[in-house]
Amino acid sequence: MPELGLAEYFSMAEALGIIATLFVILYFSRKQTQSLSVDIQTKVLNDLDEKVRKMAEIIVEKPSMQKVIYNLEKPSDELAFAFYILFICSHAYAMHQRKVLNEDEWTGWLQWMKNCFKYGTIGEHWKLVQSEGWLNPDFENFLNKEVALKPGPKLV
């Protein structure tokens, strides 16, 4: 068996170092790719939400436009605004699920949603439309279990 000299040991260490470096690069590039994928999905979701928000703004300005997507005998300003609020809450929930909102931001949004249902009339509108599937089913389940509880006392 031939003996290895100092140069051969350095050569093997260099090769191992290169291989280890390639594995580290592969690991971090894979994590970066996954992060980029979530960022792209979040951007697409934000773009879609912006379109829904614009549609809701149009309906709030002209309640008669509700008939295009929800044919009621008498369009309601309150129902249009309730849908607008629900879409905003749905988007906040989606951003929380994707870990875009930190826990403090989410806690604030969650409390805001609970207050809307507790002190406002959005809970009544929610009872009317929840079975019609306008929102993400996961978000609808969340609303029913965590937010849309018994109404509280009115603020003075």
Integer CA distances (angstroms), 20 to 14, 28, 33, 34, 112, in order: 10, 13, 20, 21, 50
| pLDDT at position 36 | 74
* 4, amino acid identity: L
HSE toward the beta carbon, residue 144, CA cutoff 13 A: 12
Integer CA distances (angstroms), 45 to 37, 39, 81, in order: 12, 10, 21
Dihedral of CA 64/70/76/79: which sign? negative
Kindly give the confidence (pLDDT) of every residue in the chain, 156 residues in length, as a single tens digit, with 9 standing for 90 and above: 566 677 788 888 888 888 988 888 888 888 777 777 777 877 887 888 788 788 888 887 887 887 787 777 777 788 888 888 998 899 899 889 988 888 999 999 999 999 999 998 899 889 888 878 888 899 999 999 999 875 555 544
| pLDDT at position 2 | 61
| pLDDT at position 156 | 46
| pLDDT at position 96 | 92
Neighbours of 148 (CB within 10 A): 20
**pTM value > 0.85:** no
